[in-house]
Amino acid sequence: MFITTTEFLPQHRTHRGQVIELITAAQARGQTRLAEMNRQVLGNLDRIIDTLDHDADDDADDGIEDSDAG
């Protein structure tokens, strides 16, 4: 199981950029297996980032509702 929080979004985005560079370089060198493996990593990172972005939006919305309640 992998657990993370919105605190780590910048690191996940940096990692995503690095993985894209790896995929591009692997494709240019004809290393299809390496590119394929990293596409799976990219998909996982995209899901993590999307989920954390959604969680951050929900937290921001909750904060607005709480401040208006008073």
Domain residue spans of the chain: 15-52
Banded pLDDT at 62 (limits 50, 70, 90): low
> What's the half-sphere exposure (Cβ side, CA atoms, 13 Å) at 70?
4
Residue 8: phi, psi to the nearest 5? -100, 10
pLDDT at 66: 38
> Helices in 1-70 by DSSP H: which ranges?
9-28, 32-69
Average pLDDT for the chain: 88
More confident residue, 61 or 19: 19
> Whole-model pTM?
0.78
Residue range 29-54, pLDDT digits in tens = 999 999 999 999 999 999 999 999 99
Q: How far apart (Å, rounded) are the C-alpha atoms in residues 54 and 37?
A: 26
